[in-house]
Amino acid sequence: MRARKARLPDANAIHGLIRSLSYDGTLLPRSFAEIYENIRDFTVAETDEGEFLGCGALHLYGPHLAEIRSIAVSEKSKKQGAGGCLVEALLEEAESHCVPCVCLFTRIPGFFQRFGFVQVDRTALPDKIYKDCANCPRLNACDEFAMARGTLPDTAVLGPVRVEEHLVPLQI
């Protein structure tokens, strides 16, 4: 088994797997267009023979925060290490970008605790909340655990900010 960065031909398998797990709310649905637009965020797990086992994505919010999202493995691949393989690959990718904090939202916190994630208050992740949670149909009834690994960010780059703080003098 190995993990590798996804390529455009993987989009069908990624979309199908995510779609199969979004009907019951396990994963948020992702359109084909969204998969294609973000294919560079995805990593796939596959057998040594190239059979697709699962996928996961690393979303970068900025130099302070990344999120592991859309972790999914096929039914026949469960309990065979594909999920762990994906998490390890995505953590290595975050490290290569020098991101000090990786977060995720999950209903299975025990799985991610094995990789050093701890439960945190979701308000500690304002970029995630502003970008994704604010538009989620389960915003006020979320049953996921917010988890993070590394140093929680003390800054945010998304969301409402005061314009004066970001003015840069024009140099001619």
The token pair at 25 is 């709310």
The residues spanned by each domain of the chain are: 2-155
Sign of torsion over alpha carbons 97, 149, 153, 58: positive
Find the distance separating the first CA and the last CA of the chain, reported in whole Å: 55
pLDDT tens for 63-90 read 999 999 999 999 888 888 999 999 999 9
The token pair at 69 is 């999202």
Q: What are phi and psi of 106, to 5 degrees?
A: -150, 160
Q: Which CATH superfamily is domain 2-155 in?
A: Gcn5-related N-acetyltransferase (GNAT) (3.40.630.30)
Provide DSSP, 37-73.
Answer: HTGGGEEEEE-TT--EEEEEEEEEEETTEEEEEEEEE
pLDDT tens for 77-131 read 888 899 999 999 999 999 999 999 999 999 899 999 999 999 998 888 888 877 7
Q: Using CA atoms in the order 161, 96, 124, 129, what is the torsion angle rounded to 10 degrees? A: 60
